[in-house]
Amino acid sequence: MVWDHVIKNGYIYSGTDFVKGNLYIKDGKIAAISENELEGETLKTTDANEQYVLPGFIDTHIHSRDPGATYKEDFYYSTQAAAAGGITSVFEMPNTNPPINNVENLQKQVGNLSPKAHVDFGIWGICLGDLNMKDLLPLHEAGVIGFKFFWGYAINSKTFQLMYNYKDGEEEVIPPLPDGEVYDIFQEVAKTGQTLAIHAENNELIQRLTKKVEESGRRDYEALLQCRPNLAEKLTIQTGIAMAKKTGTRLHILHISSEEGVQAVRQAQKEGYPITGETCPHFLFLSNEDYETVGPQMKVYPPVKYKKDQEELWQGIQDGTISIVCSDHAPHTEEEKDGDLWSIPAGMCGVETLAPLLLNAVSEGKITLNRACELLSENPAKQFGVYPQKGSLAVGTDADITIVDMNKEMVIKRENLHSKSKVTAFDQFPVKGVPTATIVRGITVMEEGQIVSKPIGQIIKSGKVD
């Protein structure tokens, strides 16, 4: 036997615990796992030297701006950043220009992204109500990884681009969809059996509160939180859960930021409904108290809230209410983020720092390494129907592997990020626990923080979800 790659002396994740041994790769697949050395010639050997050999990490929520605002980011840079951070697969969001609203645009996007992809990738389909209701089933059949609905966002009637700060009376605008039309989206996605993910913020409440705060003249961070309070998230999550209960839709709540959001999802799960939720590192590691030092770099939607929200999010991770942690990678240029809090765009880099931040949480005892594997590998793969091919170290599956040194320490520095734009709220943030190698289908893409492969990523299509 000729092994393409052998990873020796690592602590290999079995799905329940860690076993000291060797992992063998052949033809892009995991060919064997053994505590003893197997016979055969080896083309490449990696001595893991008691590091952890984990199922490849998956970031289910990134915005690479490609095609569209590629001066901020593009797929070459975002997937390079992903690989540098130990991520072997990313799921690209559909609010590109043009959006992924039909099969034709999906096929164009696959052609656009494939030559740039350093890691494997799935593509979300977008839900625009009656504008593309007839396209949802064909998009499902064509292999989108899931469906996303930006609840409460207006739509440009010519370009179908989302409008994040819609004001009543604007021309060439389709206002935020009424609940009846949203209900039809739930019914249509339910037919596919796939995940419907929602950005959960109540637009009517936000518009009303924003007008009042703007009239007061306040421009501070607390004023921003008053415009987009926990109630805005809670109202939309509750409405979404009610619709999902009625339609049988597999509802996923994106970037949960509030105590109330966690509690609503937990209650629905206790009642037996297929409601899931995710959160992001900026909600887990930051609060309103950090704005004074971090500044506008931490502006995201929904906004980073209070310590009590952060504490409930960690509780949701520990008890399983929150099943995925992802980055919501959404870069802007430094010039765009260097301005008045109320006028600058929301979003920041995140795909490269996602895993180091979660591994640091392991080092600090907030979660176990097993739980980190569930949040970053196993649960995402199961949620989107690609397990065990992705998200596991089972023999015969794709050799997607993240090697981690839990003793290695580093400081996150914006100038070292591999994204085109480098705006992050975690500049100078120390971490312990660092990905040292990223392997995608047997191909080593990153070693010791350096990209060592050309783009080799392939499209991932959603499979059957149990």
Catalytically annotated residues: 328
Q: Sort residue 248 into left (φ over 0), alpha (ψ -120 to 50) or beta.
A: left
HEC assignment per residue over 382-432: HHCCCCCCCCCCCCCCECCEEEEEEEEEEEECHHHCCCCCCCCCCCCEEEE
Q: Encoding tokens for residue 110?
A: 């696959």
Q: Which two tokens stand for residue 32?
A: 């064997």
Is 455:120 a contact under the CB 8 Å cutoff?
A: no
The region, left, alpha or beta by phi > 0 then psi within -120 to 50, assigned to residue 389 is alpha
At residue 372, the 3 state secondary structure works out as: helix
Sign of CA dihedral 63, 202, 257, 341: positive
Element (H, E) at 196: strand 195-199
Beta strands 57-62; 429-440: pairing state: unpaired
CA 286, CA 273: separation in Å to the nearest integer?
30
Cα gap 160→231, rounded to integer Å: 28
Q: Could you tell me if 60 and 278 are in contact, meaning their C-beta atoms sit under 8 angstroms apart?
A: yes
DSSP classification of residue 330: -
Q: How far apart are CA 203 and CA 370, in angstroms?
A: 38
CB–CB of 176/153 below 8 Å?
Answer: yes
Neighbouring CB atoms inside 10 A of 441's CB total 22
